[in-house]
Structure 1
Amino acid sequence: MTGRLVIGVTGASAPHYAHRLLEVLAERPEVETHLVVSRGARRTLTEEIGLSIAEFGRAADVVHNPDDLGASIASGSFATLGMAVVPCSVKSLGQIAAGIGSDLLSRAADVTLKERRRLVLAVRETPLSLIHLRNMTTVTEAGAIVMPPVPAFYHHPRSLQDVIDHTVGRILEQFGIDHDLYTRWGETT
């Protein structure tokens, strides 16, 4: 798969998924990654994985300022494979569902939907309120894929890294990007 993939990171817990996604994609020069990290995510990066935005963004090809609404990823004419928001806070989910492009992350997601490109939202919240569920329905009806990072155990994970890799692999599959991060159901190692 050749092309550009936009990766958005919000302030929801578990930026580990985005960090691993960037690591895996850094090994695939045919996929150019464009990263946008929300203002809220900057604290989560520090609190949960101990990285600054500069350290976190090293694996990305391009790092965009979340306030730059004139960035390339804010335009539909900038061709991409789509966008993954990993993790996706319910705040960002609500902005995307309402079509509010007040920052670069929500604008890029809006552009992805309007251009009928693949938008994967790894929504990180529990329990879910009716508002959250309705927003998930709205974005799904608009063409997004809501994909909470729910662990699976059929591949017999032995570590937290195995659990993270499973979700990252499932995200990659949504964009047709091959990987060997876990053993698929019905396959043997």
Structure 2
Amino acid sequence: MGDRPGELRALLDSVARQDGDPVETVVVGNGAPVGAVPAGVRTVELPENLGIPGGRNVGIEAFGPAGGDVDVLLFLDDDGLLARTDTAELHEETDLAWRALDAGWMIDYRADLVLLHPTLPPSRHAVHHRMVARNRVWPARRNLPAPLVPGYLGVWLLLTVVRRPSAPALRAWFGGFREGWATPCGPRRPMKWRTVWRLTRLGRPPVI
């Protein structure tokens, strides 16, 4: 972030317009200066870009150790917007959800909350297809019990082929898939089998 000050200001203004109790806001400059922000908004500027998960981890710590000073944390990107009240929608969220559930947390799906994001094709990023595949493999290697890894990745491989991407996109996807196996994915902490069962009962078995 750092190169979209107009979008950031629009996002912060949309947060301030929400009904209910005041929202405490922290903006993390992930390797970039934050610039001017509205009064009451705290800022943290990092000397280098830590990536999306790393930047969010810093934001969490701004609310006490492990975010323990607050009840709810919400992450927003600087190119998103919280919807107006009169408005009639690369796998890091899967990794976070799996680990949170395995740690005993509950995920509350809130269909009444509406967020906005510009309508842009993900493929606008040159590395999109490669990163989608690589980042599908990494969380599986880190978080899934070994017997489930082939099934989970096999399902996504099949879905990718069925969607009939272009030949260059498919080559990039398979390149990312190989990269996901060939490169370090971080510490492996497979979820408990009771978490697998919990996900299954929630309608999200970790093979899809």
Provide the TM-score with structure 2 as the length reference. Answer: 0.33
Provide the TM-score with structure 1 as the length reference. Answer: 0.35
Considering only CA atoms, is the larger Rg found in Structure 1 or Structure 2? 2
Q: Which protein has the bigger strand share?
A: 1
Report 1 or 2 for greater relative contact order, CA contacts < 8 Å, sequence distance ≥ 6.
1
Q: Which protein has the bigger helix share?
A: 2
